[in-house]
Amino acid sequence: MDIHSVEFYVLALFVAFALLGVVFGRSERSPARTHLAAYETEPDSEIHSDDDHWIRLSGQPDGKVLIERQGLELAQGETVNLVATIVDDKLTIVEKRGLAGQGEATPCKAWVNVDWMPGQRLHIRYESELNGEWGTTTFANRETARKQCQLKR
């Protein structure tokens, strides 16, 4: 094979890409773990602006994490569930409608204590299927840890 031939350069490019794939390729990932949680809710009498939608994560002394949500509007009897998927250091939380309610939606406060969040630093993506809001943050589950994440549309 001649060093000036097209075949040589195609083969060299193929070998270079194969080496890059080996060097920068993904290592083994841990299996995904999925957890479910249901928000507890109560009516919110405070008036908030449309931009005042957030989640707050707070580490508890018993190792649990309190997830609080502001900006939800639910009808009477409506419920909201969280579906969380953890893969390595990435956590995706999706907010889904549980039971459908009746009547007009009103602002409410929501919170849940979860025991499935590990103590390591997590990259979190929070998505709401109810109103299309989302946000990203990082959080490490420690007793004094507290993180608030503004949700965007």
Whether the pLDDT of residue 134 is over 90: the answer is: yes
User: Would you state the pLDDT for residue 1?
Assistant: 64
pLDDT tens by residue, 41-79: 998 877 666 668 999 999 999 999 999 999 888 988 899
What does the mean pLDDT of the chain come to?
A: 89
User: Would you state the pLDDT for residue 48?
Assistant: 66
Band (pLDDT 50/70/90 cuts) for residue 35 is: very high
- What are the structure tokens assigned to 41, written together? 């809710």
Neighbours of 111 (CB within 10 A): 16
Residue 20, in any domain of the structure = no
What is the rounded CA–CA span in Å between residue 137 and residue 15? Answer: 39
Single-letter code of the amino acid located at 121: R
Residue 11 phi/psi, 5-degree rounding, is -65, -40
CB 130 within 8 A of CB 110: no
Q: How many domains does the chain have?
A: 1
Average the pLDDT over 111-126 and give the result: 94
* Structural domain range at position 82: 33-150
CA contacts within 13 A on the Cβ side of 64: 10
Residue 47, in any domain of the structure = yes
Residue 142, in any domain of the structure = yes
Whether the pLDDT of residue 98 is over 90: the answer is: no
CB 122 within 8 A of CB 93: no
User: Would you state the pLDDT for residue 26?
Assistant: 67
Residue 97, in any domain of the structure = yes
Residue 124, in any domain of the structure = yes
Q: At which residue do the structure tokens 């993904």 appear?
A: 26
Q: How far is CA 63 from CA 77, 85, 92, 108, 116, in A?
A: 31, 19, 19, 26, 9
Share of the chain above pLDDT 90, in %: 53
